[in-house]
Structure 1
Amino acid sequence: MNSIIEQQRQAYEDIERMELAIVDLMLQDLSKHRHKLVREQKINELLGQIQQRSKLISEISKDESGLRHKEMDSIAEHQFNEFYSRLEGIRSFYRHNPDSSVVHPPELDYIKYKTNPEELEDKQRAKLARDKVLAESEDVANVLFLDGEQPQEQTFVSEYDLQKLDTMFSGDERLGRYVDLNEQYELYLNLKEAEKLSYLEYLKSIDKFELYPHKLKRYPQYVEYLDSLCQYFEGFFARAMPLFNLPKVLAEAKEEFDNGWAQNSIKGWGDIQNGANSELVCKVCNKQFEKPTTYGAHMSSRKHQKAFERAKDAKATSGSSEKTDQANITTQRAERDRETAWKEAIIRKYTQVLATRIRDTRSNIERRQALTEEERNKEIEEEEDDETEFIIEEEDKDEQIYNPLNLPLGWDGKPIPYWLYKLHGLGVKFECEICGNAIYRGRKAFEKHFQETRHATNMRRLGIPNTRQFHGIVSIEEAQQLWERVQKEKKKQVANTDTFEEYEDSEGNVFNKKTYFDLKRQGLI
């Protein structure tokens, strides 16, 4: 496609089709968590493609190369010549490439977004049950053959998507219902100054960073632990909540953090910002101490003395002042503290958004701890897909239904009693030509179908109202004849009203309605 204008038009068309596909997905009523998750991921993919097409349209509209403006001028000046030259180019291409495949229509790629996967599953299950019943009856070879020839419908949920979900989440996450912070919990336990907590206690106090000592927050392992938490939560949002507006949450967290840092109101960092314990800082080793005793022991240690000598030699060589070195150390420490506090603020914001899932995770862990191994395995089996359970149940069911009289099946899947079959007259079949030669078993079902949507719709297509006087008529010809007769009778009734009604003038002469008003209009009476 060499035409820049055609590229822009195609991009607009793609965006419109993707927007309609998103609307079709959002209108579907889904009940399964797995299907809802796949739908959100599909919508996220379509939104990403819309952004790509929008960037392409923006680049074409800027026309930095000038090719679009040149093409528009060429079309405006030489309309027919430009049209026939492009037409000749297309013909020449297919003349030299006669075996080239036809372009796949783009609208076919978006039909699958209109089909509800759960409704399709219900249809497939009903078809399996119907085929099994029909397989035991007579004269069903043609029915099964025709059903097999029908093309299978496609939905936005494919087998690849379901397999991708299983590999995307861990077992403890349960497809995004819960969080899995076991890896971060191990990093927390390896921190030197951290309080040893159980996993449940850790989940409860995961965002309470103000309880951690300041000495712990300056260790590289603590920064690594915060980075691991941030990466997990961001990945969890992308996997379990793909439509979540993460940039908006980050912008709100950034605004709150900047205001809090400027006012020295960040939890756990107020003392450090106010310069507490500044006298317990070793300028040479760039360390801060919590207690005077540890500070004094450090100042008298050999390690500090060696570092002091090296710093003294370096100052003599470079000529830098002590005030400048102290300012640089303070600035670097403040930048590191601010970065660490910002990471804590982000994690607090994430935990606020995921508070419900973290609480559900704790409840689920407490519940599973009270279960035995057999109960846990049974719970895993019950969480399998409904379709798999249905197929296994049908395959493992060895019981053969004995139905020599070909009686209809009841609610329990077994033939109804023969006396009930005779009572309702299910052996008598009624055929309705108006409903497309549909067959109804029993008088009750036959009488009921006259009030159903199928019969009423077909009557409207014939131009006949589905009134009470047409009930019991199943032939199209009889219904049309009766309708013509009803219309004629209505016309006669209108004419009879003018003939049968009598009026009397002032002299006592009696006329029918029509004659009376004709004479009155002429002024004769």
Structure 2
Amino acid sequence: MDSIIEQQRQAHEDIERLEQAIVDMMLQDLSKHRYKLIREQKIDSLLDQIQTRSKLILDLGRDESGLRHVEMDSIAEHQFTEFYSRLGNIRSHNRRNPDVAVHPPEIEYVKYMRNPEEIEEQQKARMARENALAMGEDALEIPFEDNLPAEQTFVSEEDEHRLDTMFSGEERLGRYVDLNEQHELYLNVRDAQRLSYLDYLAQFGKFELYPRKLKTSLQYAAYLDSLRGYFDGFFARAMPLFDLPKTTAEAKDKFADAWAAGTVLGWEASDDDHKLLCTVCNKQFEKETTFNAHMNSRKHQKAAARSEDGNASSDKQDAQKQAGDKKAEKEREAAWSESLIRTHILVLADKIRDTRSNVERRQALTEEERKQEVDEEEPEFEEDNEDKDEQIYNPLNLPMGWDGKPIPYWLYKLHGLGVKFSCEVCGNAIYRGRKAYEKHFQESRHATNMRRLGIPNTRQFHGMVAIGEAQSLWERIQKEKKQVVASTDTFEEYEDSEGNVFNKKTYFDLKRQGLI
């Protein structure tokens, strides 16, 4: 077992490596929403590990058992003896376990330094080369790394599978919210306004529009609990780095002040509440007609007579008081849930607005168009399966469409996919059609290769696919910039007090020497 000092040192080292892993991931320029979300979840997990190790360091530093103090005294008194004793234990352990491979700790964190999108580009390049060779085309070697580690980046297969099962189809990996279940619960609330799902998304946070009588029902309480639970889970899944406890604490403080002042939206105190309250029967009425009818009823008159005669039992009064306190507590809980949900809605305002736009757009689509949209949304890279049971007849070697079948020949000719363009900067990659060829100049693969050549990927270099041409143009641009600077010093003229004319450089040189 490691010593206490070694445990502290190891914890400090782990914290530094975890912090560096977080920095490495944050510096990666990711464009896909899937990878960004996995990165946030990984960072959240690493932060939890940092907190765990920090707590261990604090516990060991307190030294409640006194073992750390004993170990420090032993090292101070017997330095060499303690050193050789521990060295002997290490050698003995290695002799007993010769087959145990010891990996350096930094190997575990190498995966956090690699960009998953760059690895994906390398895999695509490998597949493009293999497909080109299989089809008998002239394809030069496309650069990629063959000795990639088993776990290349922070994105693993488990992360991909967990991400696919974490969100519903309507949420689209956290881009939108899915309140269909809460909409159903809302429709089951008694006396609730009948709203479509689109209208519900527009005003589900306007709780002040609901009557207070509706808010005391069990169905409404279950509806609020469902909303709170959904938003808490959505923050954990789609926004794992959001500081939800801090936001909840701030909202709770504001609510406590507003509730004490009677200014909570939808729960404002009014004089009518006291006017329509029967103190004898401890009942609150919403309408004045109902209140007047109750005051004239025989039941109320008997209760009032018993109260005046002092015959009312203390148990009944205590029961009424407890019922009133319970009702007040239920109202306060409902008001707090509404206030917290409003806070969540403010934070997720953009996603809720995008959800309404997406629902409105999808309502205008047919079932086939919706299915096509799901299939085409952010397609993931998959390796071809050589053992296909179904062989597709494609004698003209046409590209595959979204349905897995060759596209029509007229569409192939319309987009000019028969014309192939090669880019030497991208490793002689082949692009079918002018559109794909023009688009690739803005893609990360071409930009990365241009940076490797030391050339900025600006508009001036679009259309240049030869490395020599791009380097020549870059040299000419740099040379022209130097000439512009030199011409400024040469052609700008200055005149001294005697009327002699010099260029800018000569004039300031003579002036610094005191000759003019």
Instruction: State the match for 1:201 in structure 2.
Output: 199
* Equivalent residues of 2:132, 2:139 under 8 A apart: no
Query: 1:151–1:261: structure 2 CA closer, same or farther, 3 Å change rule?
Result: closer
What CA deviation, in whole Å up to 9, does each residue of 1:302-346 have, x standing for no partner?
A: 9x79x98xx99xx98974584x55554443333222222111110
- Shift of residue 223, structure 1, vs aligned partner: 1.4
* Equivalent residues of 2:183, 2:200 under 8 A apart: yes
Query: 1:286–1:235: structure 2 CA closer, same or farther, 3 Å change rule?
Result: farther
Instruction: State the match for 2:93 in structure 1.
Output: 93
Query: 1:174–1:400: structure 2 CA closer, same or farther, 3 Å change rule?
Result: closer
Q: Distance in 2 between matches of 1:170 and 1:285?
A: 50
Q: Distance in 1 between matches of 2:175 and 2:470?
A: 46
What CA deviation, in whole Å up to 9, does each residue of 1:131-164 have, x standing for no partner?
A: 33355679999x89x9766656601112221111
Given candidates 273, 278, 295, the residue that maps to 1:277 is 273
Instruction: State the match for 2:257 in structure 1.
Output: 259
Alignment map for 1:372-383 (pairs within 5 Å): 372-383=366-377
Alignment map for 1:189-338 (pairs within 5 Å): 189-271=187-269, 274=270, 276-281=272-277, 287-295=283-291, 319-320=314-315, 322=317, 327-338=321-332
Instruction: State the match for 1:488 in structure 2.
Output: none
Q: Distance in 2 between matches of 1:112 and 1:286?
A: 67
* Equivalent residues of 2:255, 2:264 under 8 A apart: yes
Query: 1:301–1:17: structure 2 CA closer, same or farther, 3 Å change rule?
Result: farther
Q: Distance in 1 between matches of 2:243 and 2:370?
A: 36
Query: 1:445–1:338: structure 2 CA closer, same or farther, 3 Å change rule?
Result: closer
Quick one: which amino acid aligns to residue 371 of structure 2? N
Quick one: which amino acid aligns to residue 343 of structure 2? K
- Shift of residue 263, structure 1, vs aligned partner: 2.3
- Shift of residue 353, structure 1, vs aligned partner: 0.6
Query: 1:278–1:11: structure 2 CA closer, same or farther, 3 Å change rule?
Result: same
Quick one: which amino acid aligns to residue 201 of structure 2? L
Query: 1:366–1:389: structure 2 CA closer, same or farther, 3 Å change rule?
Result: farther
Q: Distance in 2 between matches of 1:278 and 1:399?
A: 85
Given candidates 302, 326, 333, the residue that maps to 1:339 is 333
Instruction: State the match for 2:31 in structure 1.
Output: 31
* Equivalent residues of 1:172, 1:179 under 8 A apart: yes
Query: 1:48–1:275: structure 2 CA closer, same or farther, 3 Å change rule?
Result: farther
Q: Distance in 1 between matches of 2:349 and 2:124?
A: 39
Q: Distance in 1 between matches of 2:8 and 2:161?
A: 36
Q: Distance in 1 between matches of 2:431 and 2:93?
A: 65
Query: 1:153–1:129: structure 2 CA closer, same or farther, 3 Å change rule?
Result: farther
Q: Distance in 1 between matches of 2:77 and 2:209?
A: 76
Query: 1:446–1:214: structure 2 CA closer, same or farther, 3 Å change rule?
Result: closer
- Shift of residue 202, structure 1, vs aligned partner: 1.1
Q: Distance in 1 between matches of 2:333 and 2:468?
A: 78
Single out whichever of 283-292 and 107-116 deviates more from structure 2.
Answer: 283-292
2:121 is the alignment partner of 1:122: yes
- Shift of residue 241, structure 1, vs aligned partner: 0.4
Instruction: State the match for 1:108 in structure 2.
Output: 107
* Equivalent residues of 2:277, 2:283 under 8 A apart: yes
Instruction: State the match for 2:461 in structure 1.
Output: none
Instruction: State the match for 2:514 in structure 1.
Output: none
Q: Distance in 1 between matches of 2:311 and 2:70?
A: 69
* Equivalent residues of 1:283, 1:326 under 8 A apart: no
Instruction: State the match for 1:349 in structure 2.
Output: 343
Quick one: which amino acid aligns to residue 421 of structure 2? G
Q: Distance in 2 between matches of 1:110 and 1:351?
A: 37
- Shift of residue 178, structure 1, vs aligned partner: 0.6
Query: 1:117–1:301: structure 2 CA closer, same or farther, 3 Å change rule?
Result: farther
Q: Distance in 1 between matches of 2:319 and 2:80?
A: 78
- Shift of residue 245, structure 1, vs aligned partner: 1.1
Query: 1:414–1:355: structure 2 CA closer, same or farther, 3 Å change rule?
Result: closer
Query: 1:151–1:8: structure 2 CA closer, same or farther, 3 Å change rule?
Result: closer
Query: 1:153–1:123: structure 2 CA closer, same or farther, 3 Å change rule?
Result: farther
Q: Which has the higher contact order (CA 8 A, sep 6+)?
A: 2
Q: What SS does the corresponding residue of 1:90 show, helix, strand or coil?
A: helix
Query: 1:136–1:176: structure 2 CA closer, same or farther, 3 Å change rule?
Result: closer
Given the two structures, how large is their TM-score scaled by the length of structure 1?
0.68
Instruction: State the match for 2:364 in structure 1.
Output: 370
* Equivalent residues of 1:215, 1:289 under 8 A apart: no
Given candidates 142, 147, 157, the residue that maps to 1:159 is 157
Q: Distance in 1 between matches of 2:24 and 2:273?
A: 62
Q: Distance in 2 between matches of 1:2 and 1:223?
A: 53
Given candidates 168, 171, 176, the residue that maps to 1:170 is 168
Quick one: which amino acid aligns to residue 50 of structure 1? I
> How large is the Cα RMSD of the aligned pairs?
4.0
What CA deviation, in whole Å up to 9, does each residue of 1:50-108 have, x standing for no partner?
A: 1111111111111111111111111111111111122222223333x234512333211
Q: Distance in 2 between matches of 1:151 and 1:8?
A: 31
Query: 1:180–1:42: structure 2 CA closer, same or farther, 3 Å change rule?
Result: same
* Equivalent residues of 1:191, 1:222 under 8 A apart: yes
Given the two structures, how large is their TM-score scaled by the length of structure 2?
0.69
What CA deviation, in whole Å up to 9, does each residue of 1:247-292 have, x standing for no partner?
A: 2211221222122223221111113xx4633354466876532124
Query: 1:355–1:446: structure 2 CA closer, same or farther, 3 Å change rule?
Result: closer
Query: 1:233–1:286: structure 2 CA closer, same or farther, 3 Å change rule?
Result: farther
Query: 1:448–1:267: structure 2 CA closer, same or farther, 3 Å change rule?
Result: closer
2:58 is the alignment partner of 1:58: yes
* Equivalent residues of 2:224, 2:338 under 8 A apart: yes
Q: Distance in 1 between matches of 2:139 and 2:343?
A: 63
Q: Distance in 2 between matches of 1:165 and 1:87?
A: 46
Instruction: State the match for 2:493 in structure 1.
Output: none
Alignment map for 1:1-20 (pairs within 5 Å): 1-20=1-20
Quick one: which amino acid aligns to residue 339 of structure 1? E
Instruction: State the match for 1:44 in structure 2.
Output: 44
Query: 1:39–1:51: structure 2 CA closer, same or farther, 3 Å change rule?
Result: same
Q: What SS does the corresponding residue of 2:176 show, helix, strand or coil?
A: coil
* Equivalent residues of 1:283, 1:329 under 8 A apart: no
Q: Distance in 2 between matches of 1:119 and 1:265?
A: 55
5+ residue gaps, structure 1: 402-407, 416-443, 454-466, 468-525
Q: Distance in 2 between matches of 1:33 and 1:391?
A: 27
- Shift of residue 198, structure 1, vs aligned partner: 1.2
Q: Distance in 1 between matches of 2:468 and 2:245?
A: 62
Query: 1:399–1:71: structure 2 CA closer, same or farther, 3 Å change rule?
Result: farther
- Shift of residue 239, structure 1, vs aligned partner: 0.3
Query: 1:2–1:285: structure 2 CA closer, same or farther, 3 Å change rule?
Result: farther
